[in-house]
Amino acid sequence: MEKLFIFDTTLRDGEQVPGCQLNTVEKIQVAKALEQLGVDVIEAGFPVSSPGDFNSVVEISKAVTWPTICALTRGVQKDIEVAAEALQYAKKKRIHTGIGTSEYHIKYKFNSTQEEILERAVAAVKHAKKYVEDVEFYCEDAGRTDNVYLAKVVEAVIKAGATVVNIPDTTGYCLPWVYGEKIKFLMENVSNVHKAILSTHCHNDLGMATANTISGVLNGARQVEVTINGIGERAGNTSLEEIAMILKCHKDLNIETNINTQRIYSTSRLVSNLMNMPVQPNKAVVGRNAFAHSSGIHQDGVLKNRESYEIMDPTDVGIDKNAIILTARSGRAALKHRLSVLGVEVDGDKLDIIYQEFLLLADKKKDINDDDVLLLAGKERASKERIKIDYLQVTSGVGIKPVASIGVMIAGEKFEAAATGNGPVDAAINALRKIINREMNLQEFTIQSINKGSNDVGKVHMQVEHAGVIYYGFGANTDIVTASVEAYVNAINQFVK
């Protein structure tokens, strides 16, 4: 079996998605879950882009033990120096530097020439080598870069000391066999290619990221850049769980990873919940319906022999159908244990806050499942927000005009208002607007129930525009009107500081 290195960029390319931003504590939580999952490299951020990103790379470097911590830079000296400083505590560190190599980038982005870009590429690698041994170089938009020129760049950066060369299909344009041929061309035409590892980095704009990645691997790439749930710029990146399970299901490919696949599901839920980014129900491997058989013929087949219709065992990805369901009689220890299995470590006051919320939910809903437990962890974060809902009362129904009254605490002071609306959510939001008198527009509003049943928790995602900026809010509650107001308040809390 040949080893394939897994480079996870959930905390960099994934976190670039509008509305998915995490704070440092949350990023550490994800980094630790990635470590337990068995990824080889964690791309922890782009340190020069903001003090928050810099700090996250520092803290993740301290918190994580065995994966390599990688920091992204442009092929610019200052970026490289800042990245080196951010990585100072990492036990194993890598600088990921690079530049655009396609005609589009060279001509329009840099107003430059192929020769000059080649020189800048070599200079960037040499500069990074002054600070770290492990330097990865990306040829941005390699997917649309001429193969002969690409080979020249790859050869030059390896000669300059690059240990890994990343061949991104930045725009998600390549067809699988074209991307595979690109890697093959490099393997055959770069004289020093054996001194470095070629890496795939495929975007999913045309839904081909996973196919392109596998095609790259079959042609010689030995590192793949992936994200949990395939999150990332635009249509996202290649998803880690798909690559890990393809290689597990197709042992004949003779390629293995270090991924502990039984941690896939919990890591997926953790990332989805922290980033407020729902996983589409039919998402391969981790979607709610990925193992749900609804047609009678399929159900009959699976009952007779699981393998008739299932190519993966749900337990292989960590879906434990027999997992203990928590109820109102479960204690703190059981809740703490379940959270820990899902990658969330809490103690002391934090556990107390989550436990109180747990008891409130358990009163309304008989069985508390993993999604509920992760949502409760989110309530602990909401408890620190400046604006909090104190009470909400809504009257609506047939033949009456919906009316809502609301009380909110702002920095410890109580404010109250009432309003009508064309529905219960509209009335509640109108009342809230009377208290928070800022210009804001609700742009997007989605409601999703977690499982099934009228007593279930509803999740609400909202986008609220204020002063030309979009803020993302999230709420979850068995009362859908309350969940909607929670989501609105969550968004407001991001601009009313």
Positions in the binding site for Zn ion (CB under 5 A): 13
Structure tokens at 14: 């994934």
Helices 332-341 and 348-364, axial angle in degrees (round to 10): 100
CA distance 230 to 226: 7
Partner from Zn ion, ligand KIV, none contacting 8, C-beta within 5 to 8 A by type? none
Q: Are the beta carbons of 432 and 488 closer than 8 angstroms?
A: yes
Q: Which is nearer to ligand KIV, 13 or 53 (CB)?
A: 13
Q: Which residue's Cβ has the minimum distance to Zn ion?
A: 13
| Minimum CB distance to ligand KIV smaller for 74 or for 461 | 74
Which does residue 79 bind out of ligand KIV, Zn ion, none, counting CB within 5 to 8 angstroms by kind?
Answer: none
Tokens of 251: 């042992």
**Residue placing its CB nearer to ligand KIV in the complex, 9 or 478:** 9
End-to-end CA distance of the chain: 54
Q: Please, which residue, 203 or 461, has the CB nearer to ligand KIV?
A: 203
Closest CB to Zn ion among residues 13, 136: 13
**Based on CB atoms, which residue is closest to Zn ion, 183 or 375?**
183
Q: Give least dist CB 32 to Zn ion, A.
A: 23
The item of ligand KIV, Zn ion, none sharing an interface with residue 46, based on CB under 5 to 8 Å by kind, is none
Interatomic CA distance for residues 343 and 363, integer angstroms: 25
Q: Which is nearer to Zn ion, 182 or 461 (CB)?
A: 182
Sheet with 387-395, side-by-side order of all strands: 387-395, 403-410, 413-420
Contact of 161 with 80, CB cutoff 8 Å? no
| 8/13 with CB nearer ligand KIV | 13
In whole angstroms, how close is the CB of 16 to Zn ion at the nearest point? 8
CA separation for the pair 384, 315 (Å, rounded): 36
Rounded to whole angstroms, the Cα distance separating 156 from 434 reads 63
Residue 140 binding result from Zn ion, ligand KIV, none, given CB thresholds of 5 to 8 Å by partner type: ligand KIV
Q: Please, what is the minimum distance in Å from the beta carbon of residue 117 to ligand KIV?
A: 15
State the alpha helices, DSSP H only, in 38-113.
51-63, 77-86, 103
Task: State the minimum distance, in angstroms, from the CB of residue 236 to ligand KIV.
Answer: 11
Point out which residues pair with 407 in neighbouring strands.
Answer: 391, 416
Cβ proximity to Zn ion: between 13 and 372 the closer is 13
Whole-angstrom Cα distance, residue 88 to residue 131? 10
Give which of Zn ion, ligand KIV, none residue 166 binds (C-beta under 5 to 8 Å, depending on kind): ligand KIV
The rounded distance, in Å, linking the Cα atoms of 9 and 4 is 16
- Shortest distance, CB of residue 472 to ligand KIV, whole angstroms? 22
Nearer to ligand KIV, 102 or 261 (CB): 102
CB of 407 to ligand KIV, least distance (A): 46
Q: Which is nearer to Zn ion, 226 or 427 (CB)?
A: 226
Q: Note the Cα 49 to chain centre separation in Å.
A: 18
Phi, psi (rounded to 5 degrees) for 447: -120, 135
CB of 262 to Zn ion, least distance (A): 28
Q: What is the DSSP string of 121-171?
A: HHHHHHHHHTT-SEEEEEEETGGGS-HHHHHHHHHHHHHTT-SEEEEEETT
Rg (CA), the chain: 25
Residue 138 binding partner per list ligand KIV, Zn ion, none, with a CB distance cut-off of 5 to 8 Å that depends on partner kind: ligand KIV
Compute the distance between CA of residue 41 and CA of residue 37 in angstroms, rounded to an integer. Answer: 11
Assess contact for 346 and 379: CB atoms under 8 A.
no
Min dist. Cβ of residue 303 to ligand KIV (A): 44
Q: 444: which strand partners?
A: 463
Instruction: Using CB under 6 A, list all residues that contact ligand KIV.
Output: 13, 138, 140, 166, 168, 170, 201, 203
| Cα 450 from Cα 468, distance rounded (Å) | 32
Nearer to ligand KIV, 16 or 112 (CB): 16
d(C-alpha 261, C-alpha 37), whole Å: 7
Shortest approach of Zn ion to residue 203 CB, angstroms?
A: 6
Task: Give the angle 217-223-225 at the CA atoms, nearest 5°.
Answer: 100
Q: How far is the CB of 399 from Zn ion (least distance, A)?
A: 54
466 forms bridges with which residues in the sheet? 469
Q: Are 45 and 72 in contact (CB under 8 A)?
A: yes
The least CB distance from residue 38 to ligand KIV, in Å, is 22
Whole-angstrom distance, CA of residue 258 vs CA of residue 6: 8
Least distance (Å) between residue 13 CB and ligand KIV: 5
